[in-house]
Amino acid sequence: MDLNDEPIMWTRRAPRLWVDWWAVNPRPDGSEPIWGPENENVEEMLEQVAEGAAICIVPRSMATHYARPDLAWVPIEDVDPFCIALCWRRGTTRRSSPPSRASRGTSPLADRRRRRRQLSATAPDSGTRLRREARARARL
């Protein structure tokens, strides 16, 4: 899917570095995206996408949380999966300690990451295979 000719949503409410990251700016060929309408919030962004004014690149979880019959949520195949981190205040109290499952590496996310690392160590193109496996699981 070539997105270079599609205008992309953006906002002044986020730091420019974030806007550029979400818009894949610069693009792999070095070009800048075509900037579409500006938005102030998620609902406004989705309304403008539904009207055909632009596209937006979002986390896959938005397809569940913002499902609408007038929008299609299409995975971008040649982009690495979006990884997140948890950030909280440092301190010495138990409340500021990491959650026990995540800190022990036994969460489902940690299990997926461990499996991804194992596959990447043994297969030259494991990223593609992981994406295919994830798509197959999502279809179930």
Which tens digit of pLDDT belongs to each residue from 58-80? Answer: 988 898 899 999 999 998 887 77
Q: Over 70: is that where the pLDDT of 20 sits?
A: yes
- The reported pLDDT for the residue numbered 16 is 93
Q: What is the mean pLDDT of residues 11-24?
A: 91
Task: Give Cβ neighbours of residue 60 (< 8 Å, ≥ 6 apart).
Answer: 73, 75, 82
Q: Over 70: is that where the pLDDT of 55 sits?
A: yes
Q: Over 90: is that where the pLDDT of 15 sits?
A: yes
Integer Cα distance of 51 and 36 in angstroms: 12
Integer Cα distance of 9 and 123 in angstroms: 37
Compute φ and ψ for 35, nearest 5 degrees.
Answer: -80, 125
**Neighbour tally for 128: CB within 10 Å:** 12
Question: What are the structural domain ranges in the chain?
Answer: 7-65, 94-139
The string of pLDDT tens digits covering residues 101-130 is 555 555 666 666 676 666 655 554 545 556
Task: Calculate Rg over the CA atoms of the chain.
Answer: 18
The string of pLDDT tens digits covering residues 75-90 is 888 777 777 787 877 7
Are residues 74 and 1 in contact, defined by beta-carbon separation less than 8 angstroms?
A: yes
